[in-house]
Structures are given as C-alpha cells and as structure tokens.
Homo-oligomer: A and B are copies of this chain.
Amino acid sequence: MSKVRFDISLSLDGFMAGPDQSVDNPIGVGGMAVFEWMFPLAAFQAVQGREGGEVNASTPVLEERFADAGAYIMGRNMFGGGHGPWPDDPPWNGWWGIDPPYHAPVFVLTHHAREPQPMEGGTTFTFVTDGIESALEQARATAGDRDVVVGGGAATVRQYLAAGHVDELNVSLAPVLLGSGERPFDDLPDMQLEQVRAVEAPGVTHLRYRVVR
C-alpha cells in the first residue's frame, strides 16, 4: 500500500540542516554531522555505485528505505547547485552526480520550468512549477504500490506536513547539537502522532511515527 513518508536525519536539538543553507550548500554549515551515521554504510555506498563499507543496525533500515521508495519529491535547494557532492564526481548541474542514489523518479519543486532530466541508473529529475499538490499527484502516479518519499529540505517537509499529506515520519536522530539551522517541525497545525518503532544503531536512533487521522 503506497504511503507518503519522509526519511530525515535530525540533530538532537531538532535541526535537519545547519545555518546558511542554500542551493550551494543544502545541508548548511555543520549540517553534515547529522548524516555521519549513514556515510560509512555499505548500503549507502551501494546506491552510489561504490563498493565496501560497514554493515550494522542501520543497514536494514536504510535498505528498507530505498526498497520501498517508488518516487521522491524534493525542494530546489536539495536538488542542488553546479556540482556533484563527491570529490571524484564530474561537475554536473545538480548535487547528485551523473548516477544519483535515487534510482527512481524525483520531482523537484521549483519556480523555473525545465525539461525532465533523465540520469544514469534510473533516476529522472522532473521539475514541477505548479506546487506541492501537483508534485504529489505526479509522484503518486509513478510510485504505484511503493512509497512517495518527501526527501527534503526542511521547508519542503514542513509544507507537506502542514498540508496533511504525510502518513509516516522517519527520523534518524543524531547525537549532535547544531545550535541553529532549519527545523522541519516549526509552525505546524496540531497533529497526533503514534510511535511505531525505534531502532538503536551506532551513532543514531531511527524513529518511526505514524500520523493518526
């Protein structure tokens, strides 16, 4: 059964990204610290087309996220600026390199119309200029029975939460205090959550909540 979810990494003080977040630095100053649990994992390296890496209690959590994702939605900043994130990636017009880790349709919220951009490995970036409902409708249509994942950033997560579109929240809570930055849970209408599970893993706890309707 398809649902709308997000999978975010959050600092203990509630930030998804550090301060001075921008299209050139979508995770903000110091924001990389909330993802430190993820980078060493073999399951993460694999979606980048790389070999090696660690296997630990985060592995099944991350594998499940990728396996259940039928389509992604992301904000313009998260789509990125003028180069890839990895030192040995060739320059390319987006953060994610020529073979992005999504391997699925990605709908990018933007004010600037642009042709769809198919990438290597099954990722296609489709640029949506007519709002979050339109992006959701398109993502649902392509996701089939798999999930629509609201990938970020914080403003995009907040918009979908506020509009009542999110069924499931996956929060990987990192033992980090960022001090300032982007908070996904600010200024939301009242909503009721139910804790579904908590998975303890090295340097992170993976929490899952369901929105009660």
What is the interface of chain A, defined by CB distance below 8 A to chain B?
A: 12-14, 171, 173, 175-177, 179, 183, 185-188, 190-191, 193-195, 197-200, 202-205, 207, 209
Contact = CB atoms under 8 A, between A and B. Distances in A.
B183 A13 contact: yes
A35 to B, nearest CB: 15
Overall SS of chain A's interface: loop
Complex copy number for this chain: 2
A175 B200 contact: no
A200 B203 contact: no
Nearest to A33: B192
Contacts of A204: 195
B203 A205 contact: no
B12 A13 contact: no
Given A13-B186, A175-B195, A198-B200, A207 B205 contact: yes
Contacts of A209: 12, 175
B177 A193 contact: yes
